[in-house]
Amino acid sequence: MKEQMDQRILEGARDALRSARSVAVLTGAGISAESGIPTFRGAAGLWKQFRPEELATAEAFAGQPELVWEWYDWRRSLIARAEPNAGHYALVELERRVSKFTLITQNVDGLHRRAGSKHVLEIHGTIWNLRCTRCRREWTEMRVPLPLQRCECGGIARPAVVWFGETLPARVWEEAQGAVKSCDVFLVVGTSAVVYPAAGLVPLARSAGARIVEVNIEPTAYSDAVAYALNGPAGEVLPQIC
């Protein structure tokens, strides 16, 4: 019975995406974990004796820039070796078939763009961009490994990502909300939907009348409230519904 029910849910999600004219997608750490990138909240998220929450802050960088930079350089090295997986490529195919498509990601690894996704909103920034702490100039730097960098103005460069306690980039966040409000189907992939403000996109989509499809390795706080909840790896589920 469970297998039959799962198949009905799978077919329902597939039909919803097939008939949608506008699709918004939210992806989280789960889809990147399938490419070998450790999540913040998993056991593999610990680095040396530090938790990410202790390092991913402006205060930590101001106090120990070399330490924080070393952690980010380690993450950059992991990400540089990772490759997009079948879940990333399924979303590329979905974008090709839908007239209006927006991919909103909490991930900073750039794997969606490497896979070929075009309309990507990186609401937490990207680890491949640096920002000067003095003049705020941003630039892309793909070298790995990368020693602590300074801007041409002499200021220390930080990763151009959103740290704990910082707000999301206003323009990108506004565009993400607009996409969710206007979509027919909201596809939520690889996120536990507990980190705000991104987690607020799920109730926003529901209030706007969108059908919500959730793909996650395990049930989340929103699973009972979405139209179709599919438990399994994104790399296995997304190719079946996209």
- 22 with 182: CB under 8 angstroms? yes
Residue of 18, 29, 7 whose CA lies nearest to 211: 18
Burial pattern 203-217, b for ≥16 Cβ within 10 A else e, equals ebbbeeebbbbbbbb
Residue of 4, 5, 7 whose CA lies nearest to 240: 7
Backbone angles phi, psi at 90, to 5 degrees: -65, -35
Please give the domain boundaries of the chain with CATH numbers for all domains: 1-37+84-124+168-242 (3.40.50.1220), 38-81+125-161 (3.30.1600.10)
- Examine the pLDDT at 44 and tell me if it is beyond 60: no
Residue of 18, 10, 22, 8 whose CA lies nearest to 185: 22
Task: Report pLDDT for 1.
Answer: 39
| Residues tagged active-site | 124
Residues 153-168 have pLDDT tens digits of 999 999 999 999 999 9
Residues 52-98 have pLDDT tens digits of 889 999 999 999 999 999 999 999 999 999 999 999 999 999 999 99
> Sheet holding 120-122: strands in order across?
120-122, 100-105, 22-27, 185-189, 211-216, 228-231
Residues 181-234 have pLDDT tens digits of 999 999 999 998 788 899 999 999 999 999 999 999 999 999 999 999 999 999
Residues 92-132 have pLDDT tens digits of 999 999 999 999 999 999 999 999 999 999 999 999 999 99
